[in-house]
Amino acid sequence: MSPNKKRTNGKTKSVIALCVLLAVTILLGVVGFTGLSFLNVSRWMPTASTDPEEWPEALPLGLDLQGGVYVEFTGEVPEGSDAGFDELAEGTMRIIRDRLANVGYTEATVQKIGTNGIRVEVPIKTTQLATTAASTASTSEAAVQADTTEPEETTTESTTESTTESTTETAPETDAEVKTETEAATTEAEVKAEAETAVADAEAEVKAETETATTEAETAVADAESEVKADAETADTEAKAETEAAANTAITTNSVIQQVLDLIGDPAEMYFLDKDYNVFMSGDMVKSATYSYGENGHEIAFELTAEGKDIFAQKTMEAAPTKDHIIIVLDGVVLVDAAVQSAITDGRGVISGSYTQEEAKAVAAKIQSGALPLKLTRDKVDVVSATLGQDALSTSVIAALIGILLIMLLMIFRYRLNGVIASWALTIYVILLFAMIALFKVQLTLPGLAGVVLGIGMAVDANVIIFERFNEEARKGRSAKAAVRAGFKNAISAILDANVTTLIAAIVLLIFGTGSIQGFARTLLLGVVVSMITAILVTRFLMNRFVDAGCTSIGLYAKVKAEAEEEVAQ
């Protein structure tokens, strides 16, 4: 076969390969946004909707984005325990996390509050909470307003009307008459003075009585106001307490919330009982309990400790002939009531029955964790809406889309055809990343979204390293094909070093972190892995196929010619 025919066949194969990959990319993108109902494939690509309910079911959201339920407990150290609260609290929180994670609530947050409290936050879909959850009743506060109108002052005024008598002055005719008239005038003046004094005394007395009456009235009104206010505050407090109690009762009647509460429970003791309800073994003799699917459907497989193995063997040998029942009680509640079909002498058994998968997982989780180290008393249960929720989802997705578009434009402007290749590889990266998140059921929180964005940045960074190495080789006069080969060879070590160090950090966070920190670690870990796949495999494949398809001019990839001319001119 002639060289020209080989080159033609190589170009044809490369073009076909590029077309196939483009078709696959478009197909994955469409399926990611729409799903395939006939194959039971759910959509996994995020949307910019402000409603968390429209978010793809394959991408579960955390408490801060979709809301859920939180429970507060008071922990009490059991009698006879030598350990302190802090030590027992760590074990209790670990067991609760394991129980919730075993049934899918991997983003549940369990933390210590105060000196003797534990708080559990579990993300749950709003539609599940709204089915029978209580709608918070609005409390009407009746304001009883006391009549505070002050009584009008009653002022009693004594008005003395002086009657002016028109006296006709007649000149005294004799001294006797004058004397008589003088004595009469003096007596009249004295009488008038006494009358005025009496009137003044009466006025002062009336005024004093009025002021006393006013003070007494004001005191009575103030006492009435205080009494009415106290009654109103008492009634308001009682109304709020009744409303909160009613809401709390209604919340706990929700089937989903009740399942979570039952899963967390208040288990201080777990015992194994025989048919006569006699305790023969405690829960701490259970080594492990896991969900399994066997001949009888959904089952719980368990393994006992060495001590428990001997006790259980003796009891099952006694119960097997008559198929007596063995009962497992968790905090006074019957968890398992099963008939013994055969003696179990090796410490390994299976509990089967009409369990659903969720029920079997929940029972296995409770048996596995056994009794909690602390005795818990539930103080509060409440449903919380998304703390950042709707706005955070829509703005995060929109910001991510804008950022990706700007990155693509910058890459195309800076690296030309390589920029187009980087944009294509970045599109594949985003599709694969969210597909992996959906596949592994990683619940997204705001820290988790931060991990996604960081992963996108690292994917672009890997492409930048590859293209810069390519440009360095092209400036040395190598052909496009040789530049691709040498560029990847020189870039691979830097890419691996950067990604491996990030992988180590993500793994450490995943192991030692809790709650949302683990969510960030999971998305970052997936992002780094997918970034390495797309950078090393997809980008390299695309660059080789474009070169083989005939895009061999270095000018399509970089301004190498212009740069060389500038160097010669200098």
**pLDDT score at 27:** 93
**pLDDT score at 151:** 38
Q: Quick one: pLDDT band at residue 242, thresholds 50, 70, 90?
A: low
d(CA 475, CA 420): 20
**pLDDT score at 568:** 40
- Which of 519, 481, 518, 521 lies closest to 505 in space, CA to CA? 521
Summarize pLDDT for 187-220 with one digit per residue, the tens. 666 666 666 676 576 666 656 666 676 666 667 6
Least confident of 240-244, 286-290, 500-504: 240-244
**pLDDT score at 562:** 42
Q: Quick one: pLDDT band at residue 162, thresholds 50, 70, 90?
A: very low
**pLDDT score at 142:** 29
Q: Quick one: pLDDT band at residue 386, thresholds 50, 70, 90?
A: low
Q: Quick one: pLDDT band at residue 525, thresholds 50, 70, 90?
A: very high
pLDDT mean across residues, the chain: 75
Percent of the chain whose predicted confidence (pLDDT) is above 70: 68
**pLDDT score at 148:** 32
Structural domains for the chain: 11-53+387-569 (1.20.1640.10), 269-357 (3.30.1360.200)
The three-class DSSP label of residue 26 is: helix
- Which of 2, 1, 3, 19 lies closest to 549 in space, CA to CA? 19
Of 533 and 397, more confident: 533
Q: Which of the listed ranges 14-28, 124-138, 348-362 does the model predict with the highest average pLDDT?
A: 14-28
- Which of 494, 474, 503, 483 lies closest to 536 in space, CA to CA? 494
Summarize pLDDT for 50-102 with one digit per residue, the tens. 565 677 878 877 777 777 888 888 888 877 667 788 878 887 887 788 777 76
Residue 380 has pLDDT above 80, yes or no: yes
**pLDDT score at 202:** 64
The three-class DSSP label of residue 83 is: coil
d(CA 447, CA 68): 17
Residue 159 has pLDDT above 60, yes or no: no
**pLDDT score at 530:** 92
Determine the distance from the C-alpha atom of residue 405 to the mean position of all C-alpha atoms in its chain, rounded to a whole number. Answer: 30
Q: Quick one: pLDDT band at residue 353, thresholds 50, 70, 90?
A: confident
Upper half-sphere CA count for residue 419 (Cβ side, 13 Å): 16
* Cβ(330)–Cβ(270) below 8 Å: yes
**pLDDT score at 290:** 80
d(CA 399, CA 393): 10
**pLDDT score at 54:** 72
Q: Which of the listed ranges 261-270, 291-300, 523-532 does the model predict with the highest average pLDDT?
A: 523-532
